[in-house]
Amino acid sequence: MRSIPIDVIRAFVAVVEARGFTRAAEDLGRSQPTISLQVKRLEELVEAPLFDKVARFELTPVGTVCFDYGRRLLKLHDEMLDEAARRKAPDARLRIGMPGEFAARLTPLLDRLRSDTEVPAGFEVVTGESETLAAAFRQNGLDLAVLLGAETEEAPAARWRAALGWYEPESARSPKPSKSLRLVLPPKGAAVHEAAAGALRAAGRPFEIVCASADFAVRAAAAAAGLGIAPMIDGLAPDGLRRSAGPGLPALPPIVVSLVARSEALVTAGRRWASDALSTLEPM
pLDDT tens sequence across 232-258: 999 899 989 999 877 778 999 999 999
Does the pLDDT at position 223 exceed 90? yes
Strand 282-283 to 158-162 pairing = antiparallel
Instruction: Kindly state which CATH superfamily the domain 92-158+257-283 is placed in.
Output: Periplasmic binding protein-like II (3.40.190.10)
Higher pLDDT, 108 or 87: 108
Residue pair 199/226 in contact by the 8 Å Cβ criterion: no
Q: What is the mean pLDDT of the chain?
A: 85
Least confident of 69-73, 81-85, 129-133, 261-265: 81-85
Question: How far apart, in whole angstroms, are the C-alpha atoms of residue 64 and residue 257?
Answer: 33
Confidence of residue 154 (pLDDT cuts 50, 70, 90): low
Give the residue extent of every domain in the chain: 6-87, 92-158+257-283, 164-253
Res. 118 pLDDT band, cuts 50 70 90: low
Topology of the domain comprising 164-253: D-Maltodextrin-Binding Protein; domain 2 (3.40.190)
CATH topology agreement for domains 6-87 and 92-158+257-283: no
Please check the confidence at residue 178 and state whether its pLDDT lies above 60. no
Report residue 177's pLDDT band, with 50, 70 and 90 as the boundaries. Answer: low
Q: Kindly list the distances between the CA atom of residue 254 and the CA atoms of 81, 98, 174, 190, 238, in Å, as whole numbers in the listed order.
A: 39, 18, 23, 14, 19
What is the mean predicted confidence (pLDDT) over 80-106?
Answer: 79
The fold for domain 6-87 equals Arc Repressor Mutant, subunit A (1.10.10)
- pLDDT band with cut points at 50, 70 and 90 for residue 89: low
Q: Per-residue pLDDT averaged across 216-245, rounded?
A: 92
Does the pLDDT value for residue 132 go beyond 80? Answer: yes
pTM of the model: 0.67
Q: What does the pLDDT read at residue 278?
A: 83
| pLDDT surpassing 60 at residue 84 | yes
Helix (H, G, I), strand (E, B) or coil at 176: coil
